[in-house]
């Protein structure tokens, strides 16, 4: 098989299995090859295909789903050019078609002569695999289903041109690689450098699920909507009391705008030195990225905020148009101020400069949204709404009485306290 002749689709993350399978497919009838060694390799490949099915939740023809997964995750000049926009022009199309012709041969390969020659009938398990569970450790159920469907569509394609069209449409609809398949990410730094790693499980919450704060949600949604549409939008600071839904709002927009190309990257303040590397990896992709900082605040001795200031506004390099900064904080002024900052006599003779330095970070967020703790009436409305959504049938008088007792010893009036109370009721089987 001609896998070494690939031009565009190379350097696969899980490419060793492809090489081993190609070796088997080319050499199984070579009289100079040791049959016993080929048989051992074939069983090893079968093992890896089934293990991949367990990790990814794949079913059906595991060889096809493996190949489809390679094509979906390979970020190259063709696939990245097609994401969001669809078919592209230029010579790269001919190079991509050359590679798709090779993948067509891989998809169409008949394994039965290999199974007969090597006496490995068990390989039939991989050609029509029924998964015990569709739960994936790597993809959510929706993504896993899409890749399995793509594998079936690619296998049905009559020729390489049709196969290329199916794949290109997939790139347009869903993107390519980790940014195409996942909603949210975190940043990791090791000896090899800075990596943007998918977050595999994100709460499937929507803005409409969050009770109250309609003005705040509308302000956040309008800014995000403008950003996704390619219009002018601002960096955004969500601040206010603990447990009021600031972080949940960020999760909600990650869910609601995923299909329109929005991705969220979470970063912590000890990683701010990596911000430029992160932006370098995403600035030329056809997605909109929100760099998200949760519970952002700094003590007066911490200097990480200076990296953030430079990225938001003020560095020599402009922030890319496809990147915004969203942060949540319990503080309106992100850098802790002390009474010494206001004193007329202090070691720093330029008191005004010191204060302005500490305020300047918050001022660089063009949109600030306040989330305050609900009053008792609003808290009770949140409890009623959450109880209704979760099928809790306690009489309203009893429900609210228990909720008010709960909040007195569990953090006070907040949306988080209300959710914890509802979770308690569900765990205590009081929904009947």
Q: Is residue 368 scored above 60 in pLDDT?
A: yes
Q: Between these two residues, 388 and 307, which has the higher pLDDT value? A: 388
Q: Residue 193 pairs with which residues in a beta bridge?
A: 190
The answer to whether residue 420 scores a pLDDT higher than 50 is: yes
Read off the tokens for 28.
Answer: 């199984």
Higher confidence at residue 354 or residue 184?
184
CA–CA distance, 273 with 302 (Å, rounded to integer): 13
Token code pair at residue 7: 């031009």
**Could you report the per-residue pLDDT of 333-346, keeping only the tens digit for each?**
555 555 444 455 45
**CA distance linking residue 255 with residue 267, whole number of Å:** 18
Query: Is-contact 131 57, C-beta < 8 A?
Result: yes
User: Which among 175, 172, 334 has a CA at the least distance from the CA of 269?
Assistant: 334
Task: Provide the pLDDT confidence category of residue 303 given band limits of 50, 70 and 90.
Answer: low
Structure tokens at 159: 């020729």
Determine the 3-state secondary structure of 33 from DSSP.
Answer: coil
Tell me the C-alpha distance between 295 and 289, whole Å. Answer: 19
Give CA–CA dist 239/276, Å, rounded. 25
Whether the per-residue pLDDT at 357 is higher than 70: the answer is no
Q: pLDDT-based confidence at 426, cuts 50/70/90?
A: confident
pLDDT above 70 covers a percentage of the chain that reads 85
Residue 147 has pLDDT above 90, yes or no: yes
Q: What is the pLDDT of residue 85?
A: 75
Q: Identify each DSSP E strand in 155-235 by its residue range.
A: 184-190, 193-198
Give me the pLDDT at residue 390, please. 83
pLDDT at residue number 252: 93
* Confidence grade of residue 122 (pLDDT, cut at 50, 70, 90): very high
Alpha carbon distance 326, 236 (integer Å): 5
The predicted pLDDT at position 339 comes to 46
Bridge partners, residue 197, by sequence: 186
Structure-model confidence comparison of residues 305 and 105, the more confident one: 105
Helix (H, G, I), strand (E, B) or coil at 369: strand
Q: Does the structure show a pLDDT above 50 at 404? A: yes
Q: Which residue has the tokens 């089934």?
A: 50
Residue 416's pLDDT is 85
Cα-to-chain-centroid distance, residue 154: 25
Decide if pLDDT at 351 tops 60.
Answer: no
User: Which region among 26-35, 201-210, 379-388 has the lowest average model confidence (pLDDT)?
Assistant: 201-210
8 Å CB contact between 95 and 178: no
Alpha-carbon distance of 66 to 148, in angstroms, equals 9
What is the pLDDT at residue 317? 59
**Nearest C-alpha neighbor of 167 from the set 287, 75, 87:** 87
- Is residue 220 pLDDT above 90, yes or no? yes
The mean-pLDDT minimum among 91-105, 170-184, 319-333 falls in 319-333
Taking the C-alpha atoms of residue 279 and residue 267, their distance in angstroms, rounded to an integer, is: 12
CA distance between the termini of the chain: 62
Q: Hey, what are 137's tokens?
A: 């450790």
Structure-block tokens of residue 75: 């970020």
User: CA-CA distance, 315 to 292, in Å (whole number)?
Assistant: 19
Quick check: 369 and 238 in contact, CB under 8 A?
Answer: yes
Residue from 135, 16, 130, 7 nearest 77 by CA: 7
* Predicted confidence (pLDDT) at residue 355 exceeds the cutoff of 50: no
Highest mean pLDDT pick, 155-159, 304-308, 345-349: 155-159
Cβ-based neighbours of 170, under 8 Å, separated by 6 or more: 72, 146, 150
Token readout for 264 is 């969220």
* pLDDT attached to residue 360: 59
Residues contacting 396, CB < 8 A, separation 6+: 384
Q: Are 124 and 130 in contact (CB under 8 A)?
A: no
pLDDT tens by residue, 40-88: 999 999 999 999 998 888 999 999 999 999 999 999 999 998 986 788 8
**Residue in this structure with the two tokens 């793509």, named with its chain if needed:** 150
Task: Give the helix/strand (H/E) hosting 172.
Answer: helix 160-174
Mean pLDDT of 102-116: 95
Task: Check pLDDT > 80 for residue 263.
Answer: yes
Return the minimum-mean-pLDDT range out of 170-179, 292-301, 323-332.
292-301
What does the pLDDT read at residue 273?
A: 85
Burial of 50 (C-beta count, 10 Å sphere; 0-12/13-18/19+): middle
Supply the pLDDT for residue 362.
Answer: 64
Under the banding of pLDDT at 50, 70 and 90, the label for residue 422 is: confident
Which residues, 6+ apart, have CB-to-CB distance to 112 below 8 Å? none
């Amino acid at each position: 098989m001609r896998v070494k002749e690939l031009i565009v689709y190379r350097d696969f993350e899980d490419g060793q299995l492809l090489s081993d399978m190609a070796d088997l497919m080319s050499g199984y009838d070579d009289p100079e090859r040791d049959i016993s060694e080929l048989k051992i390799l074939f069983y090893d490949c079968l093992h890896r295909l089934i293990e991949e099915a367990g990790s990814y939740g794949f079913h059906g023809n595991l060889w096809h789903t493996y190949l489809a997964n390679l094509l979906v995750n390979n970020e190259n000049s063709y696939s990245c050019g097609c994401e969001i926009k669809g078919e592209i022009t230029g010579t790269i199309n001919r190079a991509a078609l050359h590679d798709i012709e090779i993948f067509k041969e891989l998809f169409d390969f008949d394994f039965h002569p290999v199974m007969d020659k090597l006496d490995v009938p068990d390989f039939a398990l991989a050609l029509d695999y029924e998964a015990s569970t569709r739960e994936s450790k790597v993809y959510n159920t929706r993504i896993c289903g899409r890749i399995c469907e793509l594998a079936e569509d690619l296998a049905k394609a009559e020729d390489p041109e049709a196969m290329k069209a199916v794949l290109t449409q997939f790139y347009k609809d869903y993107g390519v690689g980790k940014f195409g398949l996942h909603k949210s990410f975190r940043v990791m730094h090791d000896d090899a450098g800075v990596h943007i790693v998918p977050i595999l499980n994100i709460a499937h919450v929507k803005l409409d699920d969050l009770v109250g704060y309609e003005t705040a949600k509308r302000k956040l949604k309008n800014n995000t909507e403008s950003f996704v549409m390619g219009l002018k939008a601002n960096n955004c600071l969500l601040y206010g009391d603990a447990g009021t839904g600031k972080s949940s709002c960020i999760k909600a927009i990650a869910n609601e705008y995923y299909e329109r190309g929005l991705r969220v990257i979470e970063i912590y303040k000890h990683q701010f030195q990596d911000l430029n590397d992160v932006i370098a990896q995403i600035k030329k992709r056809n997605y909109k990225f929100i760099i998200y900082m949760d519970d952002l605040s700094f003590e007066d001795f911490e200097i990480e905020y200076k990296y953030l200031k430079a990225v938001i506004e003020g560095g020599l390099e402009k922030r890319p148009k496809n990147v915004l900064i969203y942060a949540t904080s319990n503080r309106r002024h992100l850098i802790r101020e002390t009474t010494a900052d206001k004193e007329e006599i202090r070691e720093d003779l330029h008191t005004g400069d010191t204060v302005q330095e500490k305020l300047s970070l918050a001022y660089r967020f063009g949109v600030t949204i306040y989330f305050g703790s609900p009053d008792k009436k609003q808290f009770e409305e949140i409890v009623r709404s959450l109880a209704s959504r979760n099928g809790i049938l306690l009489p309203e008088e009893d429900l609210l009485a228990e909720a008010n007792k709960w909040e007195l010893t569990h953090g006070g009036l907040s949306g988080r306290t209300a959710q914890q109370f509802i979770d308690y009721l569900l765990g205590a089987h009081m929904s009947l």
